[in-house]
């Protein structure tokens, strides 16, 4: 019996896994397929060759080597975009700043090894789903990532741990593990890091 099979009208974005979790990676493989009604089907047991293995997002912590001065400059530069998106999608401003910092260290040209792009590191499927035509446009990228966060807030009933885990590892991975943070070191570190920065920005903004 499949460990996980569900239909959700969403694109799945998997977080990067460390090499030391190679065995977990094998267990965590998830595939997707678009049916004739346009629905995206996720499963860990593909039924036909038309199912495509979901690509990992390729996240690695950019804050380890970021230039704080550069981040401050870009935070100010894109401040109005972030504030507008936070208001439009009913998201906490410190949370948006935290996600952008941990995703890209405020580098609008950032590209992960798996092809996630821009300030909020949108995978191509996610960008397309949320109407982002140019992921390197700060305004478009922030709005697309914010819409995705808003969707996750509704899907996981505002549980920030699950929302952040899904943003990093994908909705399917969170559901597969019984609506809990998947046992991936990268995802666990991601959730912890974003929440740490959210606290910092809550005190500064």
The strand order across the sheet containing 5-7 reads: 5-7, 40-43, 31-34, 52-53
Condensed to tens digits (0 to 9), the pLDDT of residues 18-49 reads 323 223 333 446 666 777 777 767 676 777 87
- So where are the chain's domains? 5-53, 62-204
Question: What tokens appear for 124 in the block?
Answer: 């191509």
Instruction: Report, as residue numbers or ranges, the catalytic residues.
Output: 103
**Distance between CA atoms of 86 and 93, rounded to whole angstroms?**
6
Residuewise pLDDT in 10s, the chain (205 residues) = 344 333 333 333 223 223 232 233 334 466 667 777 777 676 767 778 777 765 556 788 899 888 899 899 999 999 999 999 999 999 999 999 999 999 999 999 999 988 899 999 999 989 999 999 999 999 999 999 999 999 999 999 999 999 999 999 889 889 989 999 999 888 999 999 999 999 999 998 7
Q: Calculate the CA dihedral of residues 13, 135, 154, 2 and round it to 10 degrees.
A: -20
| Cβ atoms of residues 90 and 201 within 8 Å | no
Q: What is the DSSP letter of 7?
A: E
* Distance, CA of 71 to chain centre: 20
Condensed to tens digits (0 to 9), the pLDDT of residues 134-148 reads 999 999 999 999 999
135: nearest Cα among 110, 157, 102, 152: 110
The model carries a pTM of 0.75
Where do the H-state alpha helices sit in 66-158?
Answer: 68-77, 79-88, 93-104, 124-129, 138-155
Roughly how many angstroms between the first and final C-alpha of the chain, as a whole number?
49
- CATH class label, 62-204: mainly alpha
């Amino acid at each position: 019996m499949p460990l996980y099979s569900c239909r959700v009208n969403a694109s799945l974005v998997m977080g990067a896994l460390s090499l030391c979790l190679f065995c977990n990676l094998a267990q965590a493989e998830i595939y997707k397929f678009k049916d004739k009604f346009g629905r995206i089907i996720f499963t860990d047991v593909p039924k036909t060759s038309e199912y495509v293995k979901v690509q990992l997002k390729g996240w690695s912590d950019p804050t380890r080597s970021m230039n704080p001065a550069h981040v401050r400059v870009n935070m100010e530069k894109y401040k109005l975009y972030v504030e507008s998106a936070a208001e439009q999608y009913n998201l906490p401003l410190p949370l948006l700043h935290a996600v952008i910092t941990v995703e890209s260290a405020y580098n609008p040209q950032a590209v992960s090894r798996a092809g996630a792009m821009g300030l909020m590191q949108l995978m191509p499927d996610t960008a397309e789903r949320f109407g982002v035509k140019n992921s390197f446009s700060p305004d478009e990228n922030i709005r697309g990532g914010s819409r995705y966060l808003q969707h996750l807030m509704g899907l996981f009933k505002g549980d920030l741990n699950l929302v952040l885990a899904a943003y990093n590892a994908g909705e399917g991975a969170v559901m597969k593990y019984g609506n809990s943070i998947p046992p991936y070191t990268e995802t666990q570190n991601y959730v912890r890091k974003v929440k740490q920065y959210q606290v910092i920005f809550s005190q500064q903004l």
